[in-house]
């Protein structure tokens, strides 16, 4: 059996995606900075019949992230689906005129170096399988920059460019890179942004392998 690795896994969207893909027979690797949190989520999922395991890594530490994904593939099976969806830190969201060059280093490590590291780690396994999906999840500033959230606006734009290039470069290898834009907050009970609804959307993006980008709901003008 193959594995979905969820980088930035939490009890909300990460848990919902784990359940959705777990119902389809995937093993689940939960990657987060805090091992205790993903271990607790893995135990909860196990009680629901999902084979899940937690792995600790800070996405800003390339060596730790690579090691976690390597351990996931060894313990659970080749990573067929990679989801990159860690939540940005609040201190990445300064107004543009208050953002110094040094302030952009952490957001870029988080949203550009992190996903590049993760993709490079799992790509050989996907190529061996002859298939794969990379799911990028971003907020609305990835496509509509906001002057009060300069760090994420700049870094998400870089992540979006990387994801688009992967989509174009890997399509002929049956590896589908795709991006879901979620404007605003993930909201339990919301008809389009409830975690379970978003998990269904992400399953459809993996299954249908169609367009590069999908929106959870339209962006405000």
- pLDDT tens column, 155-213: 999 999 999 999 999 999 999 999 999 999 999 999 999 999 999 999 999 999 989 99
Within a domain: 221: no
Mean pLDDT within 46-59 = 97
Residue bearing the bigger pLDDT, 105 or 89? 105
174 found inside a domain: yes
The alpha helices in 24-113, defined as continuous H runs, are 35-46, 62-76, 105-108
The model's pLDDT over 94-126, given as tens digits with 9 standing for 90+, comes to 999 999 999 999 999 999 999 999 999 999 999
pTM over 0.75: yes
Does residue 197 belong to any structural domain of this protein? yes
Domain span at residue 70?
Answer: 3-215
In this model, does residue 221 exceed pLDDT 60? no
Number of domains observed in the structure of the chain: 1
| pLDDT for 38 beyond 80 | yes
> 155 lies in a domain?
yes
Here the CATH number for the domain that contains residue 53 is: 3.40.50.720
Give pairs for 155-163: CB < 8 Å, separation 24+.
Answer: 155/88, 155/92, 155/104, 155/107, 155/108, 155/110, 155/111, 155/112, 156/111, 158/108, 158/111, 158/112, 159/111, 159/112, 159/115, 160/136, 162/112, 162/115, 162/116, 163/115, 163/134, 163/136, 163/212
Residue 148 resides in a domain: yes
Helix H segments across 99-140? 105-108, 114-129
Say if 24 falls within a structural domain.
yes
SS3 content of the chain, % helix, strand, coil (to 5): 50, 20, 30
Tell me if 203 is assigned to some domain: yes
Share of the chain above pLDDT 70, in %: 100
Evaluate whether residue 220 is within a structural domain: no
């Amino acid at each position: 059996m193959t594995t979905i690795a969820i980088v930035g896994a939490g009890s909300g969207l990460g848990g919902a995606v784990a359940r959705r893909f777990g119902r389809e027979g995937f093993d689940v690797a939960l990657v987060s900075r805090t091992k205790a949190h993903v271990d607790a989520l893995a135990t909860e999922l196990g009680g629901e019949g999902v084979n899940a395991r937690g792995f600790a890594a800070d996405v800003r530490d390339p060596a730790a992230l690579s090691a976690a994904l390597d351990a996931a593939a060894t313990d659970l099976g080749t990573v067929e689906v990679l989801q990159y969806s860690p939540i940005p830190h609040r201190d990445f969201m300064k107004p543009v005129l208050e953002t110094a060059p040094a302030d952009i280093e952490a957001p870029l490590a988080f949203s550009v170096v992190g996903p590049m590291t993760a993709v490079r780690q799992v790509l050989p396994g996907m190529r061996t399988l002859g298939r794969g999906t990379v799911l990028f999840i971003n907020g609305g500033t990835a496509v509509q920059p906001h002057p009060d959230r300069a760090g994420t606006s700049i870094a998400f734009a870089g992540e979006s460019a990387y994801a688009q290039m992967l989509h174009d470069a890997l399509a002929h290898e049956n590896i589908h890179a795709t991006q879901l834009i979620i404007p605003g907050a993930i909201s339990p009970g919301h008809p389009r942004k409830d975690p379970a609804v978003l998990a269904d959307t992400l399953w459809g993006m993996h299954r249908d392998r169609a367009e590069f980008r999908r929106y959870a709901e339209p962006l405000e003008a």
